[in-house]
Structures are given as structure tokens and as C-alpha cells.
Structure 1
Amino acid sequence: MNRTLVYATVTTGITVPKQRHAPAPVVRDLRDRAGRGPRTLLFGARDLVVITGLPGSGKSTLMRRAVTGPRVDSQDTRDRWDTRTPRLLPYALYRPLVRLAHYTGLRRALRTGEGVVVHDCGTQPWVRGWLAREARRRGAALHLLLLDVTPETAREGQRERGRGVSAYAFRRHRRTTARLIAAVEAGELPAGCGSATLLDRAAADALHRIAFTA
């Protein structure tokens, strides 16, 4: 019989339910709470967590501030390459190497069998497919944290970090993210995802800890 264990909701955190026998996906909407949502999200020791949203929505900021376990952030990989690359060399020329390094690091992290939080730009659904297969292989679950911010807020975030994306790329991200948000709101999660949590900027700012149970 399909069964989802009851998850605890307290004033400071949420323990994401352990899932058995592919239960119905769980969707939690933490938006529009003026930052009065949970301060902690806890996941199973071997679970995988994907953080996605528009460029500039605050994914890397959230990961650096709140993730206490292993994390793989493509932004970290790019920053490392930027410091080693001549300033006049356009990013487009070495972007394939950055991506290769990022996915190599992700593969290495997955091989440990530990829970991992992964930054996903939202336009690479094959990455979520890869993570879903890995979660099934290790008998764990894949969870989605989706940052829902306005395009204006995302553009402001890009300006604050001093790095933006082209108008064409941003339109592509907007379409992909809008479709993903609409699907999650309808309870239709990407294949292999056991749960999704919708966060606006205030809910993301309220999170102080994203961790895995012992």
C-alpha cells in the first residue's frame, strides 16, 4: 500500500517526509507569508535537493547562507574559473569548460552517496532527470526548491552581483521558469520529483538552514 509518512511542521522548520513506494508528490507553497514561513528545511540523509529559478533570483545566495551539507553550485564553478582566466577573454569561449567542470563536480558529489543540494539554472531538465535516476538508485527522494520572483527582482539581483544574462537567454529562462511554476502549482511535478517547495524572496530570506538528517 502506498504510504507517505507524516511530516512535522513546527514554528521554526519543516521536516520533509520520507517517501516509500512512490507516493503522490507533495507541494508546499511558502509564498505570500511575509517571511513568516519556516526557518529550517530538513531532508533525508541521502536525498537530493535542486534549487531552481530565474538568474538573479537568489539561488546561490540562499545556498551559501543556508545549506549546511554538501552543495554543488554552478556559480561557484564559474567564479573559480573567472579568477584563473584572463579578464579580456569572453566567458562564451570558456563556458563549455566551466560546464564540464561543474558536471564533473556534481558526479563526484553524487558518488559519495550523501545528500546534496544542487543549483539548477532551470533550462537543463536533463539534469533533474539525472538526479531523479540517482535518487531512485540510492533509495532516496528528489526534492525541488523553486524560487518565484518577478523578472524585475531577478534583473536587480543580476545587477547586484555585477553579472547579467543576455535578453534572449533571460526570455528563455522566463518561459521555462513560468512553465515550471505553473506545473508545480497544478501539482504536476517534474518526473522523479517527490516534493516541491515554492518560495518567494521573503520566504527564501527567512530560511536559515537547509540540511540533511543524520
Structure 2
Amino acid sequence: MSYPEGAVVVVSGLPGSGKSTLLRRWSGVAPVVDPRASHVACEAVMPAWLPYAVYRPWARIRHFRRLRVEVRSGGALLVHDCGSRAWMRRWLSWTAGRRGRELHLVLLDVGAAEALAGQRARARWASRRVFARHHRGLARLVGALSLHGPAAVREAASVVLLDRVSRERLTTVEFTPRPVERDPR
């Protein structure tokens, strides 16, 4: 896949759908902002007995700060996002747009059973409540896309829907410079 230079590409899907795997494949061409990195960084400095729920707000603030810095940096960016929060896409689009950059959405639509199998394979689980919340949010998004097409996600310059097979076949992403417009004189 090819995106304009400086684009912000958001990869969304259910927990276990393959977002991290896809982003690892693509990470050589642009920085990746993944909330898991903030979770792990916070976990490393917290006592082992302290549950994540206690320091989750700190991890989220850390993630949003990193996201804000990266979006403002101006280069191409890959963002790991659950996709169930439309406000996050709107904020990313608005922030990127202020710098003349576009937001693009890649949505992994692999279904709940496939995503749960992905969680089993990596031995890392989202709670039932969290998974259900993400599932509802993504179902709304996919439903809106099926009714209205890409116009359902007005904040995105493009929307690509990938199933399990196309996710596996899509091995690279590139960011290409925009053609220079010549003066017609």
C-alpha cells in the first residue's frame, strides 16, 4: 500500500486481530505509536503487586503525549488503535490536518472468533468487558462503512478494510512524495 509522505496511518481492529503483527512488518518505514509500549514502560517502574488498573491513567497520558509529539513531528506515522473510539480518529485527523497531513484508516475486520484465537496464540488477553466494548465500537464502525462507504469516516482520507487473508498478504507500506506542481506559465 502507498500513502502520501507525512501521512498518519491508523491501524485498527479488535484485540488479537493482528494490528501489532502488521505494524511490526511495516515499522521499518515509519515510527509506530502503540499504547502497549506505554503500558510496558509504566509497568516496568511500578511494584509487581500493583494492578494495571491503578496506573492505567498514567499509561494513557504517557501514550497520548507520545502520540501528540509524533503527530506534530511531521513525518509519516503508524498508529496502533482499537478503532472503537471515533473521537481519537477525529483528534488525530485534526492534529495532522493542521500540519497539512492526511489521516488514513486501515481496519482489520477479522471477526471476534479470529481475534480471540489471536489472543490465545499470543497468550495475552483483553478482559471480556474490554473486548466487548471494542467489539461494539468496531461493529458500529463496520456497519456505518457498509451503509455509507468511506464517507462514514469523514476524518479519514481513505479507508482500507482487511480480512485475515489480505492482512497476511499485505507485507509492505510506503510513503511517497507528492508530485511537485509546476507553474503553468
Instruction: Sort the TM-score into its range (normalised by shorter chain).
Output: 0.7 to 0.9
Q: For residues 147-193 of structure 1, what are the alpha-carbon distances to aligned partners after superposition, in whole Å with 9 as ceiling and x for unaligned? A: 00121111121222222122222111111111111222331332321
- Report which of the two has the higher share of helix: 2
Could you list the per-position Cα deviations for residues 114-142 of structure 1 after superposition, in whole angstroms to 9, with x for gaps in the alignment? 12111111232211111111232122321
CA distance, structure 1, for counterparts of residue 70 and residue 90 of structure 2:
16
Question: Paired residue for 2:144, among 183, 192, 207?
Answer: 183
Q: Give the SS at the match of 1:212.
A: strand
> 3-state SS of the aligned residue for 2:78?
strand
- Equivalent AA in structure 2 for residue 46 of structure 1: G
Give TM-score, length-normalised by structure 2.
Answer: 0.86
Which of the numbers 137, 156, 160 marks the counterpart of 1:197?
160
The Cα of 1:90 is off from its aligned counterpart by 1.0
What is the SS of the residue equivalent to 2:157? strand
**Structure 1 Cα separation of the partners of residues 169 and 44 of structure 2:** 31
CA RMSD of superposed structures (Å): 1.6
Q: Which runs of 5+ in 1 are unaligned?
A: 1-40
Residues 54, 173 of structure 1: 8 Å contact kept = yes
Alignment of 1:1-214 (within 5 A): 41-67=1-27, 68-186=29-147, 187=149, 188-214=151-177
Higher strand share: 1
Q: Which residue of 1 aligns with 2:183?
A: none
8 Å Cα contact 1:144-1:196 kept in structure 2: yes
Q: Aligned residues, how many?
A: 174
Tell me the TM-score normalised to structure 1 length.
0.75
Letter in 2 for 1:66: W
Partner of 2:180: none
Contact 1:48 1:142 in 2 (8 A): yes
* Bigger mean CA deviation after superposition, 105-114 or 134-143: 134-143
Q: Which runs of 4+ in 1 moved over 6 A?
A: none
